[in-house]
Amino acid sequence: MSTERNSSRGRQGSNKSASRRTNNSQGSFKKRPSKFEKKAPAKPVKTDADGIRLNKYISNSGVCSRREADVLIAAGSAMVNGKVITEMGYKVQLTDEVRFDGALINPETKRYVLLNKPKNYITTMDDERGRKTVMELVHMATKERIYPVGRLDRNTTGLLLFTNDGELAKKLTHPKHNVRKLYHASLDRKFAVKDLQTLSEGEFMVEGKKVFIDDVAYVEGASKSEVGIEIHSGRNRIVRKIFDTLGYKVVKLDRVIFAGMTKKNIQRGHWRHLTEQEVSNLKMI
């Protein structure tokens, strides 16, 4: 009896093992990968070192969209290292000289940063004397290298634009484009009505040269020593020199409007990026 029971148990165990093998053969068992099996090679990561498609290069330079660039490339508007390129998909290196309609272009993303400048910062990239510069205030604004458009002297506060868009910077600093710059000047004494009328005539001589004054008025709600003056001249310290010529000392000077932009929501010493609409407005000047 004992032998038969043991034999029966053996047959049952054998049947169970066979059943497990059968189930495994039907897909329930997942094969573990061998450590000796070769892995599929990783796909190479594409970088700008492999070259940039010409249409992307043109688009990144701010000229137009990629789709528009394709049309203009086919029309022969693009040159790489002095050779006209009409091939779709042509790749360029960052070291190549790329021209579009004869003008040298750069694929770097264009940045536009507006700063509300405080006192005691000079408008320069660096200073040999170790004085504080405006670049210290905007160094976290963007990874691209940006530059101040025009200047504000050390003691003048207010709006200062930074960008790496060279064409726009030239436009905004050239007097012929009449870029509006409005200053709030605080004088050491009341500004006489006759002097206000003199500046209101529009032309004024400073150091033997004409300065065109677009508008001048007392600041509403303030004392007669507070004057708003609008000019488009880019001459150094020109507002201070205008009042100095009339015998007044400028105690405080603040640029409150530049090219239609105001200091709204920008605290002193802080900055913000321009909106797309603001950039479009500047390019339409």
Q: Where are the domains of the chain?
A: 48-104, 112-283
Q: Is 254 a catalytic residue?
A: no
Mean pLDDT over all residues of the chain?
85
Q: Are 137 and 271 in contact (CB under 8 A)?
A: yes
Considering the candidates 101, 153, 188, 215, report the single residue annotated as catalytic: 153
Architecture of domain 48-104 in this structure: Roll (3.10)
Kindly state the average pLDDT of the residues 67-83.
93
Rank 16-20, 139-143, 269-273 by mean pLDDT and report only the highest: 269-273
Architecture of domain 112-283 in this structure: 2-Layer Sandwich (3.30)
Q: What pLDDT is recorded for position 206?
A: 93
Helix 276-283 / helix 166-173 crossing angle, nearest 10 deg = 60
Q: What pLDDT is recorded for position 32?
A: 56
Each residue of 166-189: pLDDT tens digit? 888 988 988 788 898 999 999 999
Contacts of 96 (CB under 8 A, 6+ apart): 80, 81
The full length of the chain comes to: 285
Rank 20-24, 49-53, 134-138, 234-238 by mean pLDDT and report only the highest: 134-138
